[in-house]
Amino acid sequence: MPNFEHVTISTQRLLLRPLRTSDAQTLFDIHSSEEVMRYWSSLPWASIDVAHERIQRDLRTMPLGEFLNLGIVRIEDDVLLGTCCLFHFDEQCRRAEIGYALGVHAWGHGYMQEALEALIQYGFTTLNLNRIEADIDPLNTASAKALLRQGFQKEGFLRERWIVNGVKADTEIYGLLLDDWQKNHPQ
């Protein structure tokens, strides 16, 4: 995989860019929210140290191409709204998983749709992926709608795949193929 250290993707209202050390407080604010983390496979962050560790991990590993984690920044005021990422790359099969989080203050404005569209395009065109997958909690209807709007199809249901703080949770698997994406995005 390529070096992701300097990847930036621009949309009409957003800049997707690598996280910076100065993003730690906002990143913590987003991921310490019970509303944001309700459907994640981990608990809300309890310390800003987690945000610092995640940013340092990105600074170390993004140049190696192990995963692509980008902050979603609103261009008009340079505010970090959330993150989106591609990870679990399988080079032979040209496959990756997609993940995302958006702060509660940014919900309902179409920012995630705009960010996902740009990241998916980058995955299929620049990274030459053939398939992008998502693993979401079936109760997270907003995430399911976001994926369906991008052309993903629900492909499976896995019972009790995650246990977070002693609570068992199912998962749904969604997939988007390059061929299907190209039908909706003719060059």
Q: What's the CATH code of the domain at 144?
A: 3.40.630.30
User: Can you tell me the distance from the alpha carbon of 68 to that of 82, in angstroms, rounded to the nearest whole number?
Assistant: 14
Confidence of residue 166 (pLDDT cuts 50, 70, 90): confident
2 domain-assigned:
no
45 domain-assigned:
yes
Strand partners, 62: none
Which domain covers residue 93, as residue numbers? 9-184
Q: Please, are residues 72 and 115 in contact by the beta-carbon 8 Å criterion?
A: yes
User: Can you tell me the distance from the alpha carbon of 116 to that of 121, in angstroms, rounded to the nearest whole number?
Assistant: 8
3 domain-assigned:
no
Express as a percent the part of the chain with pLDDT over 90: 80
178 domain-assigned:
yes
User: Can you tell me the distance from the alpha carbon of 69 to that of 5, in angstroms, rounded to the nearest whole number?
Assistant: 10
Q: Please, are residues 132 and 164 in contact by the beta-carbon 8 Å criterion?
A: no
- Quick one: tokens of 97? 């998983």
Digit-coded pLDDT (tens) for 17-30: 999 999 999 999 99
pTM (two decimals): 0.93
Q: What total of structural domains would you count in the chain? A: 1
1 domain-assigned:
no
pLDDT the model gives residue 82 = 96
Q: Please, are residues 48 and 28 in contact by the beta-carbon 8 Å criterion?
A: yes
